[in-house]
Structure 1
Amino acid sequence: MISPLNSKIISYLPSQPDFEFQTDYYIEQKVRIKPNQPSILFYQFKMGGVSSQISVIPDGCIDILINCDQHYGNICGSVTKSRVINLLPNSTYFGIRFLPCLDIKKLKFGIKDLTDKEISLNEMFPVNTNILERVATDESFMQRVNIFNEILESHIFEIDKSTKLIKQSLYNIYATRGNITITQLAEEVGYSTRYLRKQFEDHIGISPKLFSQIVRFQSSLNMLLRTTHFTLNDVIYENGYYDQAHLIREFRNFGCTTPYQLTGQKRIMIV
Structure 2
Amino acid sequence: MSNRKKWSFHIPLQPEFKMKTAYYIEKREFDQKRNKYYLYYQFKCDSISNSMMVIPDGCIDILFTCVPQAPYGKVCGSVLRSKEIQLVPGAEYFGVRLPAGRESLNLNCSMKDIVECEIPIKDLLLLDDPAHQLANIPSFEGRIQRFQETIGTIFLNEKSYSSVVRNALYSIHLSRGNITMNDLAQKSGFSTRYIRKKFEQDIGISPKLFSQIVRFQCSLSMFMNDKNYSIWDIIEESGYYDQAHLINEYKKFSYYSPRQLMDTITKGKAWVM
* TM-score normalised by structure 1 residue count: 0.89
RMSD of aligned Cα (Å): 2.2
| Other-structure match for 2:55 | 57
> Offset at 1:23?
1.5
* 1:88-237 paired onto structure 2 within 5 Å: 88-100=88-100, 103-104=103-104, 106-125=106-125, 129=129, 131-237=130-236
> Offset at 1:161?
2.0
Once residues 49 and 158 of structure 1 are traced to their aligned partners in structure 2, the CA distance between those partners, rounded to angstroms, is 36
The answer (yes or no) to whether the contact 1:217–1:251 under 8 Å persists in 2 is: yes
Which moves more between the two structures, 172-181 or 102-111?
Answer: 102-111
The answer (yes or no) to whether the contact 2:76–2:119 under 8 Å persists in 1 is: yes
> Offset at 1:262?
2.4
TM-aligned CA distance change 1:256 to 1:48, over 3 Å: farther
Match of 2:40 among 39, 42, 46: 42
Once residues 250 and 172 of structure 2 are traced to their aligned partners in structure 1, the CA distance between those partners, rounded to angstroms, is 19
TM-aligned CA distance change 1:230 to 1:252, over 3 Å: same
Once residues 6 and 128 of structure 1 are traced to their aligned partners in structure 2, the CA distance between those partners, rounded to angstroms, is 36
Identity %: 40
Once residues 72 and 196 of structure 2 are traced to their aligned partners in structure 1, the CA distance between those partners, rounded to angstroms, is 34
Match of 1:12 among 10, 13, 37: 10
> Offset at 1:101?
6.2
In structure 2, give the amino acid aligned to 1:195. Answer: Y
TM-aligned CA distance change 1:176 to 1:201, over 3 Å: same
Once residues 245 and 149 of structure 1 are traced to their aligned partners in structure 2, the CA distance between those partners, rounded to angstroms, is 45
- Gapped regions of structure 1 (runs ≥ 5): 267-271
Once residues 226 and 149 of structure 1 are traced to their aligned partners in structure 2, the CA distance between those partners, rounded to angstroms, is 32
TM-aligned CA distance change 1:227 to 1:37, over 3 Å: farther
| Other-structure match for 1:79 | 79
Once residues 222 and 75 of structure 1 are traced to their aligned partners in structure 2, the CA distance between those partners, rounded to angstroms, is 25
> Offset at 1:190?
1.5
Q: Deviations over 1:225-267 (max 9, x none)?
A: 234242221111011111222212212221233333527949x
> Offset at 1:37?
2.1
The answer (yes or no) to whether the contact 2:53–2:82 under 8 Å persists in 1 is: yes
The answer (yes or no) to whether the contact 2:101–2:204 under 8 Å persists in 1 is: no
Which moves more between the two structures, 89-98 or 29-38?
Answer: 29-38
Once residues 256 and 160 of structure 2 are traced to their aligned partners in structure 1, the CA distance between those partners, rounded to angstroms, is 37
Partner-residue secondary structure (3-state), 1:220: helix
Which moves more between the two structures, 154-163 or 114-123?
Answer: 154-163
Which moves more between the two structures, 181-190 or 253-262?
Answer: 253-262
| Larger RCO (CA within 8 A; separation ≥ 6) | 1
Q: Deviations over 1:16-70 (max 9, x none)?
A: 1111112121111111111882211111111122221111111111111110012
Q: Deviations over 1:64-96 (max 9, x none)?
A: 111001211110112111111111111111111
TM-aligned CA distance change 1:120 to 1:238, over 3 Å: same
Once residues 21 and 3 of structure 2 are traced to their aligned partners in structure 1, the CA distance between those partners, rounded to angstroms, is 37
